[in-house]
Homo-oligomer: A and B are copies of this chain.
Amino acid sequence: MALVVRGELRLTPGKAAVQVAHAAVLLVQLAERHPSPTFSRWLREGQKKIALVVPTLTDLEELDRRARAKGLATVWVEDAGFTEVAPGTRTCLGIGPAAASELDPITGELELL
């Protein structure tokens, strides 16, 4: 599972962590509605997650297109905007769960958060 934050928002570490957590929970809820061997394996193998960052919303949108083109699940996190950003701002993209062999071609070159 890859959780990719939008760098240009310059979120604090805590705020970024919350966006990453929102994305992870949304992906798990989505996977629970469509159980798959991939999801079962991911749960069994310790729910591996990685937090990454890309500079802009355009980068995130491109990542979303590439992931969906490969058949991977994606979710967007929109912040309620109580604190650091305007309401409805897209802050984070979640991808997966998926095997490393599926995720790596899409996210392997991205910077760690």
Interface size on A, residues (CB 8 A): 28
Contact residues, A61-113 vs B (CB, 8 A): 80, 112-113
Which residues of the other chain, B, contact A80 by a CB distance below 8 angstroms?
Answer: 46
Is A29 part of the binding interface, using a Cβ–Cβ cutoff of 8 Å? yes
Q: Does A52 lie within 8 Å of B112, measured CB to CB? A: no
Which residues of the other chain, B, contact A47 by a CB distance below 8 angstroms?
Answer: 22, 25
A and B contact pairs by CB, cutoff 8 A, 5 listed? A13-B113, A21-B49, A22-B24, A28-B28, A46-B80
Residue numbers of A with Cβ under 8 A of B are: 3, 5, 12-18, 20-25, 28-29, 32, 46-47, 49-53, 80, 112-113
